[in-house]
Amino acid sequence: MLQIPHLPETRKLKALAVLTSGGDAPGMNAAIRAVVRYAIAKDCAVYGVTKGYSGLLEGQIQPMEASSVANIIQRGGTILKTDRCEAFFRKAVRREAAHILQRKGIEGLVVIGGDGSFTGAHLMENETGFPTIGIPGTIDNDIAGTEDTIGFDTAVNTAVDAIDRIRDTASSHDRIFVVEVMGRSSGYIALQTGIGGGAETVLVPERKIPVSKICDTIERGIRRGKTSSIIVLAEGRTPGNAQVLAQKLEDRGYATKVCILGHTQRGGTPTAHDRMLASAMGASAVAHLMAGHSNSMIGCRDNRIQLVPFKDVIGGKKTLSTALLDLGAVLAT
Ligand code: F6P
């Protein structure tokens, strides 16, 4: 059960802004809703920035009311839209962004996104003093300083549901399926999906397994009477690897099908877990800005919502639990 510490509150903030940045993730809307409603409850005006940092630079900044976020907690995607903004890598551009916010009387910015989005916020605050707070929103769960990110649970549930369906057809046709899931260079989605979906093999960037070993696992299964197999493969840096692996298995005489789940994992109704996490993190972000805390991310460690300085987050490596990797391997045999 998520532990929410008593939220700090020591000063009045006239107005803050919220934006979503990077890849969308289910639950971002629940986070926007929490930011808007918590701020309004504390007499702080809220502005919504459309299309991430790009929209901010274009001045796409609109006041939001409690009613602006009605009926969105259950919706995937982000009502504020999102973007990956290359221009924000430039110092002059970040300085201009801070000026745009200040000219509107905005005193703090909540950024819902991933590591790249936090880097932009962190640099902008260091260079201009403009207060920023990050909320981790990405299906990849690859952000240091937090055990959980908004959208991860939903993406895993979507992928497990897909595997259940694929298993029906795999066992009807006695086939091997390679199912490719997202996650970029992180294997979190693959590992949890593999364990939750009962995959025969899970392949993640953090632990390489040679094709010969995958074939050994298939053969062991066949000897025990298994007629079908599911191999869950993390996309890694170059999506489409499932095709490469399937070809290698075909070359060794195994008829193999490929299913790349792709962006289906990014959409859909957020799970109750993601809605809860997003609600708690959204409120906490506002409370910390009001308490004068910034240049930090709202993280979740040992199931507790807490503030983690950006400097301990950005570029940090989050390692996949070897115990979980071992468990996945044992249960798959
Ligand atoms: O970071 C989230 C993510 O969905 C990754 O898992 C994936 O590699 C990437 O974004 C895809 O990005 P895009 O939607 O820009 O193709």
One DSSP character per residue, 172-196 reads HHT-EEEEEE--TT--HHHHHHHHH
Return mean pLDDT, the chain. Answer: 96
**What is the three-class DSSP state of 270?**
coil
CA of 216 from ligand 1 middle (Å) equals: 32
Architecture in CATH of 15-151+270-312: 3-Layer(aba) Sandwich (3.40)
Q: How far apart are CA 138 and CA 58, in angstroms?
A: 24
Q: How far apart are CA 185 and CA 192, in angstroms?
A: 15
CB-based contact 164:327 (threshold 8 Å): no
List the CATH code of the domain at 154-265: 3.40.50.460
| Residue of the CA atom closest to atom 13 of ligand 1 | 23
Contacts with 86 (C-beta within 8 Å, 6 or more apart), sequence order: none
CB-based contact 280:32 (threshold 8 Å): no
* Percentage, residues of the chain above pLDDT 90: 93
**274 closest CA partner among 34, 41, 7, 108:** 34
CB-based contact 120:136 (threshold 8 Å): no
**Catalytic hit among 115, 140, 148, 153:** 140
Atom of ligand 1 nearest to the CA of 84: 15
* pLDDT number for residue 333: 72
List the alpha helices (DSSP H) in the chain.
28-41, 52-57, 91-103, 115-128, 152-173, 188-196, 211-223, 241-251, 272-290, 322-332
Q: Would you call 174 a catalytic residue per the annotation? A: no
Confidence of residue 4 (pLDDT cuts 50, 70, 90): confident
* pLDDT number for residue 11: 77
Confidence of residue 294 (pLDDT cuts 50, 70, 90): very high
Atom of ligand 1 nearest to the CA of 266: 4
**What is the three-class DSSP state of 92?**
helix
**Tokens describing residue 99:** 């000026």
Q: How far apart are CA 307 and CA 133, in angstroms?
A: 9
* pLDDT tens track for 44-60: 999 999 999 999 999 99
Domains in the chain: boundaries: 15-151+270-312, 154-265
* pLDDT number for residue 276: 97
**Tokens describing residue 193:** 């999906």
Atom of ligand 1 nearest to the CA of 184: 8
Residues 58-63 have a mean pLDDT of 98
CA of 129 from ligand 1 middle (Å) equals: 31
What DSSP designation does 310 have?
G
Identical topology for domains 15-151+270-312 and 154-265:
yes
| Residue of the CA atom closest to atom 12 of ligand 1 | 23
Is the confidence at residue 9, as pLDDT, over 80?
A: no
Confidence of residue 1 (pLDDT cuts 50, 70, 90): confident
| Residue of the CA atom closest to atom 1 of ligand 1 | 23
Confidence of residue 313 (pLDDT cuts 50, 70, 90): very high
CB-based contact 77:107 (threshold 8 Å): no
CA of 276 from ligand 1 middle (Å) equals: 23
* pLDDT number for residue 82: 98
List all residues whose CB is within 6 A of at least one atom of ligand 1: 23, 138-140, 182-184, 235, 266
CA of 261 from ligand 1 middle (Å) equals: 12
Pairing of strands 45-49, 132-136: unpaired
**What is the three-class DSSP state of 295?**
coil
Atom of ligand 1 nearest to the CA of 265: 4
Residue 143 neighbours by CB distance under 10 Å: 26
Is the confidence at residue 238, as pLDDT, over 90?
A: no
